[in-house]
């Protein structure tokens, strides 16, 4: 059987120091791509259907998830999504308007979806929840990124508990956004010691789960984090079998 296709939501930036032309870049983060490959999926990029710059947005909790996309752009984006058995939202400094359409489309069509860091924000907002800023004393540095720096408590009986097989383990949340209102038909399945929500999951979907932390930076040495990708890709593969 063919491996499942995992669409990775791409990001954009324009860095004046990158080269003499300061060209805008569309990219997929390497360790996100590697996490899919290492767990049996085939990664492809999901690109914005808009020509030129994709504006940064802060919100996304409104009811217009097209975010300025034209009918043709929505068709082009939907055509990309129809190629995918699963979708992965990576973390990054910014989120872009088209991501909210993708998240709502995946939720409505029960496409296995995994969100990480900022990807959790997008998935929560797109499905009726909200996020807020909190004080986070941890620095955004390489040591924190690659090492488990604080524990989370996993709620028994949740999908996340079944995936990780534990009620507590160390992770590496390093950003200041947290989910403060859990979307309808979702539950918070893990918290940190301060009570901040670390993981949310949909209760009525095959796999619609999002983490505040970065399992892609830990999965090579943390079996619990590796299991997240294993179950995500497995769910996408099951969806592929059902459709075929």
Q: What are 36-53's pLDDT values in tens digits?
A: 999 999 999 999 888 765
For residues 149 and 196, what is the distance between their CA atoms, to the nearest angstrom?
15
Q: What is the pLDDT of residues 145-169, one digit of tens each?
A: 666 678 999 999 999 999 999 999 9
Domains of the chain: which residue ranges?
Answer: 5-243
Residue 44 forms beta bridges with which residues?
7
Residues present in the chain in total? 244
At the top level of CATH, the class of 5-243 is: alpha beta
Enter the pTM of the model.
0.90
- The CA distance from 103 to 101, in Å, is 6
Q: Which token pair is 79?
A: 């055509």
How do residues 174-218 score in pLDDT, each as one tens digit? Answer: 777 899 999 999 999 999 988 999 999 999 999 999 999 999 999
Residue 194: predicted pLDDT: 85
Q: Which helix (H) or strand (E) holds 169?
A: strand 168-171
Rounded Cα–Cα distance for residues 236 and 127 (Å): 20
**% of the chain beyond a pLDDT of 90:** 65
Provide DSSP, 17-81.
TTSTT--EEEE--HHHHHHHHTTT-EEEEE--SSSSPPPEES---SS-TTTT--HHHHHHHHHHH
Within a 13 Å sphere around the CA of 189, how many CA atoms are in the beta-carbon half? 23
């Amino acid at each position: 059987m063919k491996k499942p296709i995992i669409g990775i939501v791409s990001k954009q930036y324009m860095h004046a120091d990158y080269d003499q032309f300061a060209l805008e870049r569309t990219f997929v983060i390497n360790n996100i791509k590697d996490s899919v490959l290492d767990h049996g999926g085939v990664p492809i990029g999901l690109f914005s259907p808009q020509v030129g710059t994709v504006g940064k947005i802060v919100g996304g909790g409104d009811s217009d998830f097209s975010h300025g996309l034209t009918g043709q752009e929505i068709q082009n984006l939907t055509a990309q999504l129809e190629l995918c058995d699963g979708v992965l939202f990576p973390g990054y400094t910014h989120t872009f308007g088209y991501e909210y359409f993708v998240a709502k489309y995946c939720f409505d069509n029960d496409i296995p979806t995994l969100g990480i860091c900022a990807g959790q924000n997008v998935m929560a907002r797109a499905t009726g929840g909200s996020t807020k800023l909190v004080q986070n004393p941890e620095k955004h540095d390489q040591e924190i990124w690659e090492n488990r720096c604080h524990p989370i408590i996993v709620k028994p009986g949740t999908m996340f508990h079944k995936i990780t097989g534990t009620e507590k383990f160390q992770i590496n949340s390093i950003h200041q956004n947290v989910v403060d209102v859990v979307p309808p038909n979702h539950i918070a399945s893990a918290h940190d010691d301060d009570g901040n929500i670390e993981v949310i999951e949909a209760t009525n979907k095959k796999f619609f789960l999002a983490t505040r932390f970065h399992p892609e930076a830990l999965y090579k040495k943390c079996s619990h984090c590796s299991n997240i990708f294993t179950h995500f890709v497995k769910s996408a593969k099951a969806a592929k079998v059902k459709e075929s």
